[in-house]
């Protein structure tokens, strides 16, 4: 095997060598950014190491740095600190060698990207994700995930240890398991969400976790309907299998032409415990993409029966004259994707009763329930009288009270502005 001592993109080091810019232009373009980020990491490690030295060692290294710069200038930038040419060796050589790591040439780092990744395809996949999906500031964590996958090739849950798990109580009964990713993983997932959302569009009937859409837009289509049927997908995130997510990502990211190793690394980032983690920034958007074909099938069936259809996350709503005829068909469609209807949360609202869609009343117009409006007015009055406000049994400060009024303003701006004006009068 040819020993490569120097590296130049313009001149091949051996007869069969093909320049990197011809073999992989994207890797050639991205490795400069990796080098800059690696220098920052090394600089931080350098500073941390310096503070751990004794005062004598610190003084010695500072003096050596000045001497090193002078020698480097005198020798036109070429200095040997190891090997046979040891006339410039430092007394504290074991400490100085940790310092000199930052002086390693850029070509050495590029040579590592060029050849070492051929032996470690998952680490090469990290560079591929950075180049094709526009990620930044996450190379260190991607390298960690790649190393885990290389060590445990059959263990898909390599990010399991990077989640904090806790339960929050539900409004009705029971509790919900939340997966809170660590800051590094959450930052990576947010950048992936930005890229995936730029390449894909949600279905027109999907209103959850989509910009310019809300519970208000989800409820508008069901105003004044004779019958409103509301169904809930049971454990939507936990029931979304990793195999289904993989097929959806392969379909949606086909333009990027990701390799199988890059797709494997991407799956490790967006899934946990063989499902979508509840609490990850990417999970809601991926759920919308998984249910895209379901939304299309439901919209076609509802148009044939003159019914209105919408979905907010896992909350399905159908309204019209006879929407109950589609309940069995909804369950069949969901079973094809590995989901099922939560029968305890299925509701049928007929005329003459309060029809609720995503927490809003839709009998004649979209509005908040009457008891919610009364509680908000009472909270504002109590705040003006004695500085205390309570809503649903919880004490509120002024910021929280204004947040509830802002929610009210989204539904009914005229009535909410009256309450806002009362708060302003107190000031």
pLDDT tens for residues 67-120? Answer: 555 555 555 444 444 433 333 433 333 444 444 444 444 455 455 555 545 566
- Residues in a beta bridge with 178: 166
- Across 159-184, average pLDDT: 88
pLDDT at position 161: 85
Phi and psi angles of residue 321, each rounded to the nearest 5 degrees, phi first: -80, -45
d(CA 35, CA 105): 10
Q: Which residue has the tokens 């947010």?
A: 190
Q: Does the pLDDT at position 303 exceed 90?
A: yes
pLDDT at position 95: 40
Of the two residues 243 and 115, the one the predictor is more confident about is: 243
- Across 329-345, average pLDDT: 91
- Across 360-388, average pLDDT: 92
- Across 286-308, average pLDDT: 95
pLDDT class for 424, splitting at 50, 70, 90? Answer: confident
d(CA 292, CA 55): 64
Q: Does the pLDDT at position 420 exceed 50?
A: yes
Q: Which residue has the tokens 């209807």?
A: 341
Of the two residues 52 and 107, the one the predictor is more confident about is: 52
Of the two residues 129 and 232, the one the predictor is more confident about is: 232
Tell me the pLDDT tens digit for each residue of 27-36.
556 666 666 6
pLDDT at position 126: 80
Identify the CA nearest to 286 among candidates 165, 196, 215. 196
d(CA 251, CA 245): 10
Mean pLDDT over all residues of the chain? 79
pLDDT at position 14: 35
Of the two residues 269 and 150, the one the predictor is more confident about is: 269
Tell me the pLDDT tens digit for each residue of 377-390.
999 999 988 888 88
HEC string of 68-135?
A: HHHHHHHCCCCCCCCCCCCCCCCCCHHHHHHHHHHHCCHHHHHHHHHHHHHHCHHHHHHHHHHHHHCC
Q: Does the pLDDT at position 6 exceed 50?
A: no
pLDDT at position 58: 67
d(CA 323, CA 302): 8
Distance of CA 141 to CAs 38, 63, 100, Å? 12, 35, 24
- What pTM did the predictor assign? 0.72
For the chain, what percent of residues have pLDDT higher than 70? Answer: 71
Q: What is the DSSP string of 215-269?
A: HHHHHHTTTT-SEEEEEEBTTTTTTSBHHHHHHHHHHHTGGGT--HHHHHHHHHH
């Amino acid at each position: 095997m040819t020993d490569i001592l120097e590296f130049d993109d313009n001149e091949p080091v051996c007869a069969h060598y093909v320049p990197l810019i011809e073999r992989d232009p994207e890797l050639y373009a991205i490795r400069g950014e990796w080098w800059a980020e690696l220098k920052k990491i090394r600089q931080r490690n350098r500073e941390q190491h310096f503070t751990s030295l004794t005062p004598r060692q610190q003084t010695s290294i500072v003096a050596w740095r000045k001497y090193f710069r002078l020698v480097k200038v005198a020798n036109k930038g070429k200095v040997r600190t190891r090997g046979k040419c040891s006339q410039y060796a430092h007394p504290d050589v074991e400490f100085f060698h940790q310092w000199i790591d930052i002086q390693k040439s850029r070509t050495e780092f590029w040579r590592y990207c060029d050849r070492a990744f051929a032996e470690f395809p998952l680490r090469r996949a990290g560079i591929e994700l950075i180049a094709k999906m526009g990620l930044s500031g996450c190379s260190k964590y991607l390298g960690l995930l790649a190393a885990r996958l290389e060590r445990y090739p059959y263990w898909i849950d390599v990010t399991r240890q990077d989640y904090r798990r806790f339960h929050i109580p539900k409004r009705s009964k029971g509790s919900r398991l939340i997966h809170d990713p660590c800051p590094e993983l959450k930052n990576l997932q947010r950048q992936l969400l930005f890229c995936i959302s730029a390449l894909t569009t949600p279905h027109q009937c999907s209103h959850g976790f989509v910009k310019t859409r809300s519970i208000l837009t989800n409820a508008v289509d069901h105003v004044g309907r004779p019958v409103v049927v509301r169904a809930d997908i049971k454990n939507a995130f936990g029931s979304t299998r990793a195999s289904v997510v993989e097929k959806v990502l392969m379909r949606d990211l086909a333009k990027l032409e990701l390799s199988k190793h890059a797709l494997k690394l991407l799956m490790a980032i967006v899934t946990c415990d063989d499902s979508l983690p509840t609490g990850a920034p990417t999970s809601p958007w991926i759920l919308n993409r998984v249910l895209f074909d379901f939304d299309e099938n439901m919209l076609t069936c509802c148009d044939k029966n003159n019914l209105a259809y919408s979905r907010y996350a896992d909350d399905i709503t159908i309204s019209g004259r006879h929407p109950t005829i589609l309940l069995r068909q909804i369950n069949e469609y969901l079973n094809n994707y590995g989901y099922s209807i939560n029968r305890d949360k299925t509701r049928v609202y007929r005329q003459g009763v309060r029809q609720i869609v995503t927490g809003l009343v839709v009998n004649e117009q979209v509005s908040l329930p009457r008891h919610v409006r009364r509680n908000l007015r009472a909270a504002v009055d109590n705040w003006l009288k004695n500085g205390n406000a309570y809503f649903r049994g919880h004490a509120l400060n002024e910021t929280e009270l204004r947040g509830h009024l802002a929610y009210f303003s989204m539904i009914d701006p005229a009535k909410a502005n009256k309450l806002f004006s009362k708060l302003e009068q107190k000031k």
